[in-house]
């Protein structure tokens, strides 16, 4: 759901910015407009899952609407605009923004899956009482952040 929302939000927000906000000099409204677009996409995903896959919809529960408040989704839309992808022409700029959105979403997916796997393994280990729960998750997230820093500068 996050991959779909981020990818489509990249496309829609770029179009809105290029053809509505920038020509009318309403760029100061970009954050509000982007949040509305993201909320609409999340509602679309929620309705689709409720209709097509009710067990998945029920399993996700409150976590599905929380995609709207995920900073990564808004961050990608704002980054695409700030990097000027819309200025490179409709085809190239739009494609660059959508690819950036998809790649960011894929990276987010990989990080979440890794974190879930590590948390699953940690549950079956002897963790000191002081580190059980949130503290060990924060230590794990810090170690993962250090590991992902090794990929910086590759591209």
Using one digit for the tens of pLDDT, what is the confidence trace for 39-56?
A: 999 999 899 989 999 998
Residue 90 has pLDDT above 60, yes or no: no
What percentage of residues in the chain have a pLDDT greater than 70? 95
**94-132 CB burial, b ≥16 within 10 A, e <16:** bebbbebbbebbeebeeeeeeeeebeeeeeeeeeeeeee
Task: Measure the CA–CA gap between 105 and 107, rounded to whole angstroms.
Answer: 5
Q: Which of 135, 145, 136, 153 is nearest to 114 (CA)?
A: 145
- Residue 32 confidence class, pLDDT cut points 50, 70, 90: very high
Average pLDDT, the chain: 86
Q: What is the pLDDT of residues 52-83, one digit of tens each?
A: 999 988 888 887 888 877 888 899 989 888 88
Model pTM above 0.95: no
């Amino acid at each position: 759901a996050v991959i779909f929302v981020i990818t489509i939000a990249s496309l829609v927000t770029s179009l809105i910015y290029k053809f509505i906000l920038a020509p009318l000099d309403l760029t100061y409204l970009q954050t509000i407009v982007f949040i509305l677009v993201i909320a609409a996409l999340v509602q679309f995903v929620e309705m689709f899952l409720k209709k097509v896959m009710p067990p998945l919809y029920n399993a996700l529960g409150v976590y599905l609407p929380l995609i709207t408040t995920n900073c990564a989704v808004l961050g990608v839309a704002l980054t695409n605009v700030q990097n000027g992808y819309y200025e490179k022409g409709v085809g190239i700029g739009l494609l660059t923004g959508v690819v950036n959105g998809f790649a960011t979403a894929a990276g987010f997916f990989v990080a979440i899956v890794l974190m879930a796997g590590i948390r699953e393994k940690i549950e079956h280990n002897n963790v000191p009482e002081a580190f059980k729960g949130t503290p060990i998750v924060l230590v794990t997230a810090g170690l993962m952040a250090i590991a992902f820093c090794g990929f910086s500068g590759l591209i």
